Amino acid sequence: MVNGERLTVNGEPGVARAEDVLDPAKPAPNPSGTVPSHPVTLSPAPRQIRITVQRTPDVDRDKRLLSWVVDELRAKPGPDRFCIIVRKNGAAVQLDFPNDTTTFTPALEQQLVRRLGVGSVEVREDASY
């Protein structure tokens, strides 16, 4: 039963299993017994992506690197927010981008880690700072 109503599956009365209803790859049945023509997908909650960049003595290199990071994050707008932490000699400055969002994917994470190093990317499920 879903919302107190019995479901029909392929025209036959039946009981929906939780894994069938919750599987985003399967079309969601509805109380009328019909299956929508388009799959129902749930959007993941927005995440907060924190990127750490270490400053170097080469200011021009650092500017190019920061520009590259921001361009990569802005390239695919989406639900995820991001900020960049710039560190040097134990001090840190957080750069916020309140008007920009991204779609953070494993491929993007690999690009950032490859260029910035292990430990440079932190993903928080809670989108608050």
User: Residue ranges per domain, the chain?
Assistant: 1-40, 48-124
Q: Give the global pTM.
A: 0.64
pLDDT band at 26 (very low <50, low <70, confident <90, very high): low
Amino acid at 129: Y
Helix (H/G/I), strand (E/B), else coil: 25 = coil
Q: Provide the strand spans (E) within the chain.
A: 7-9, 12-14, 48-54, 81-88, 91-96, 121-124
Give 58's contacts (C-beta < 8 A, 6+ positions apart): none
Torsion over CA: 15, 21, 26, 32 (sign): positive
Residue 75 pLDDT > 50: yes
Specify the pLDDT at position 56.
Answer: 95
pLDDT reported for residue 45: 84
Q: Provide the pLDDT confidence category of residue 125 given band limits of 50, 70 and 90.
A: confident
